[in-house]
Each structure stands twice: as structure tokens, then as C-alpha cells.
Structure 1
Amino acid sequence: MEIKHRLPSIEEYQKLRDLVGWWETDLIATEIALNNSLFSVVAMEGETVIGIGRIAGDGGLYFYIQDVIVQPNCQSKGIGKAMMKELMTWVRQTAKPGSYIALMSAPGLEAYYEAFGFKMRKSDAPGMFQVI
């Protein structure tokens, strides 16, 4: 397994989303989103992409870890951890003091991300979202 600093193709991205049961995204919106990523990694097994992760945001104050996905039959093998290390190394080298680094965790993975320094939001600071 090798981690490469590059964007996934739209097809690679859509395939991994589908494999983990995430909702389908519009192809044009997906292309725009991927091309506006601040940084991205792919985990490769030979010529096959088995994992992706990217950072979105404004590149100044706000950085969001997005789309950390590992193919289901490759999970629990340290691939996600290797990708997160690369993503966090980039953030630490890029973000200035006072920058806000965030992510949304899948249920049950909160402790996984705590190992990378993330903390749960306090109950008096709830987050919200909307999918169109």
C-alpha cells in the first residue's frame, strides 16, 4: 500500500462513496469539489485506489478533513491512519495559529479521531448540516 498526494478521479471518488454506502453526488458538483480541494491523498494497492482523504476549506482560517474513505475489505489495516497522518502533516505545515481544523465523524469513530487531536464539540455548541 502506498499513499500518494493527488486527487482521486471522479470515478474513483464515486466508487468508494458507493462502496461505503454514502449518498450519490452530482458529477459536476463532485468535479468542482475535488478540484477545489486544498490537499488530497489516495491510498493505492498497485494501480487500484483503496482509500481517499482530502482537505477542504478557505486555506486561511478554516480547514475541514473530508471524505476519509477506505474500501470496506481494506479497513482495519492502518490505511485510514496512514492517510490521516498525511492530511494532518499538511495541515500542521500550512495552517497558521488560530486556524480551525474540523471534521465530521461517522458514529463510533470519535475515539479514532481523538487520537489525531480532535475533540467533541461541547453540547452548548452543536453543529448542524443540510444535504440538498
Structure 2
Amino acid sequence: MSDDEHARRAADPSLPAGYALRETTPSVEAFLSLRAAADMTPRSREAVERGLPNTTYGVHVVEEASGEPVGMARIVGDGGSVFHLSDMAVAEAHQGRGVGTAMMDALVAWLRTEAPAGAYVNLMADVDGFYERWGFRESAPASKGMWIRTEEL
């Protein structure tokens, strides 16, 4: 990221003071750590090592004082017709400060400029009232989200 981009992000009012947004995915170690720190279901190292390079667009937020990653979010998909927001995580100690909002603002801004008209954007969420701010709504009854873990196939 250029110095101008860093300055623009630093001046972004949606990003809380003391944090910096990076337009990259975190390291595998940070990814695994952030999921644990956000009390999310663990992922295997193998899955993360395979999956992170296939990210369409990703961001992570670091605490400027320590340089430690405190949040992450990414978009996966085919890059044209389907985009899935995934792995939105903010370490519990940093929740409620606007870190998640800044990451969602970045993802939505990217989608607005990069995703073709008519593309489908979806997500699976374990929280109520957060994603609706960006226009997301439940798909039921028109459709329903479904899932299964590979060990159950």
C-alpha cells in the first residue's frame, strides 16, 4: 500500500484512533489466533494455509502501538458473480470500538468499485443487527443458508 493510501486510511473517520487498517489478509498464525480471540470456531492450519491465498479481497486491523493484529475480514468467491464475506473477527478485547465497522466499510467500498452489477453478495452471521447497516438482510423465506462440515460428508 502506498504512503498516500496509508494516510487516507489513517484519516478515515470510521477507523478508531490507535488502529491501522491493512488491505491484506493476516498471516496464518494471526488468522488462527484472531478466530480464537473472537471466540469463533477453530479452523485447521492446513485449511487456513490453503484458503488464505484464495482470498478475493481481505483486510486486517492492527493495533498501532503493538503492531498486533486485532481484527480481520475477507471476501472469497469467483471474482465475478458470487462474493462471500467471511472470517469477520475482532479480538474480544477490541470489540465495540469500531474496528469491525471499519473493516466492513472497507469490504463494502471494495465491492462497490470492483464487483460487477448484479453480482450476489452473501454472508453467514452469528450476530444480529450488525450487517444490516450495510443493507444485508436475511434470505429466508426466499432461500435459506445451509452448511455441513467435511467430516460429516
TM-score w.r.t. structure 2 length?
0.81
Structure with a larger share of its residues in strand? 1
- How far apart are the structure 2 equivalents of 1:111 and 1:14? 26
> Partners of 1:55 and 1:78 in 2: how far apart?
19
Q: Which has the larger Rg?
A: 2
Mapped to 2, the partners of 1:21 and 1:119 lie a distance apart of 24
Are the aligned partners of 1:43 and 1:52 in contact in 2 as well (CA < 8 Å)?
yes
Q: Which residue of 1 aligns with 2:134?
A: 116
Distance 1:78 1:41 in 2: 14
Greater mean alpha carbon deviation, residues 64-73 or residues 121-130: 121-130
Residue equivalent to 1:17: 35
1:124 deviation in Å? 4.2
Q: Deviations over 1:5-58 (max 9, x none)?
A: 011100000001112222322212211110000011011102110000000000
Q: Which runs of 5+ in 2 are unaligned?
A: 1-18
Residue in structure 1 matched with residue 119 of structure 2 by the alignment: 99
CA distance in 2, matches of 1:4, 1:23: 24
- Do 1:55 and 1:64's aligned partners in 2 also have CA atoms closer than 8 Å? yes
Q: Helix, strand or coil: the match of 1:23? A: coil
Please, what is the CA RMSD of the aligned residues? Answer: 1.1
Residues in 1 aligned to 2:95 and 2:41: alpha-carbon distance in whole angstroms: 20
The unaligned stretches of length 5 or more in structure 1 are none
Residues in 2 aligned to 1:63 and 1:123: alpha-carbon distance in whole angstroms: 21
Contact kept in structure 1, 2:124 and 2:145, CA below 8 Å:
no
The one-letter amino acid of 1:105's match is A
Indicate the SS of the match to 2:88. strand
Q: Distance in 1 between matches of 2:41 and 2:125?
A: 16
Residue 33 (structure 1) aligns with: 51
Superposition misfits of 4+ residues, deviation over 4 angstroms: none
Alignment partner, residue 87 of structure 2: 67
Separation of aligned partners in 2, 1:4 and 1:92: 18
For the residues of structure 2 that align with 1:102 and 1:124, how far apart are their CA atoms?
14
